[in-house]
Amino acid sequence: MRLRESSAVSLILPLVLSVLLTGLLAGCGGSSNQSSNDSGDQEQKQEGEAAKKQPLQKKIAIGTVKGFHEDKRRIALRPTVKGQSEGPLGFKIRKNAKVTLDGKKAELGDVKEGQQAQIEYVTKNDVNRAVSVEIVGD
């Protein structure tokens, strides 16, 4: 009886061990590649989410209105402050932008070339977006 048990064990044991070892190696190899891909994807996703969550830095430009297109919601400003820009700065005016004329609420139609303006803006995707437009004088 012992001879049969030991011969059966000696045949089955290497077979079971080889199946387990193959499964372990296949699982580890696939898992490590998958894990590195997943972790890379997760890092990129987290960086993207962090960039979305960070508030955009507000900036201010002061100068003279050099161009305005109400239908396109665009305004060009020639800065009076040195170092802001050599030429005119272009802005897309947000739909919810606050527009004032001499401290009072105004409409986009009140903006005219030659007026002095202070524009508070953010830059998103390389586009200056006006948050508020304060016009001084007619």
Q: How confident is the model at residue 32 (pLDDT cuts 50, 70, 90)?
A: very low
Domain layout of the chain by residue ranges? 1-54, 59-136
Return the amino acid letter for 19: V
- Per-residue pLDDT tens digits for 60-92: 999 999 999 999 999 999 998 777 777 889 999
Residue 128 and residue 60: Cα distance in Å, rounded? 11
Percent helix / strand / coil, the chain, rounded to 5? 40, 35, 25
Question: Which residues are CB-neighbours of 10 under 8 A, at least 6 positions away?
Answer: none
Considering the chain, what is the average pLDDT of its residues?
79
Domain 59-136, what architecture? Beta Barrel (2.40)
Cβ-count burial 44-67 (b if 16+ within 10 Å, e if not):
eeeeeeeeeeeeeeeeebebebee
Q: For 137, phi and psi rounded to 5 degrees? A: 80, 170
- Report which secondary-structure segment, H or E, holds 24: helix 2-53
Residue 36 and residue 48: Cα distance in Å, rounded? 18
Compute the average pLDDT of residues 27-36.
Answer: 52
- Per-residue pLDDT tens digits for 8-27: 666 676 666 676 667 666 66
Report pLDDT for 25. Answer: 64
Between 12 and 132, name the one with better pLDDT.
132
Neighbouring CB atoms inside 10 A of 130's CB total 23
Can you name the residues that pair with 114 across neighbouring β-strands? Answer: none
Report pLDDT for 55. Answer: 81
Between 92 and 33, name the one with better pLDDT.
92
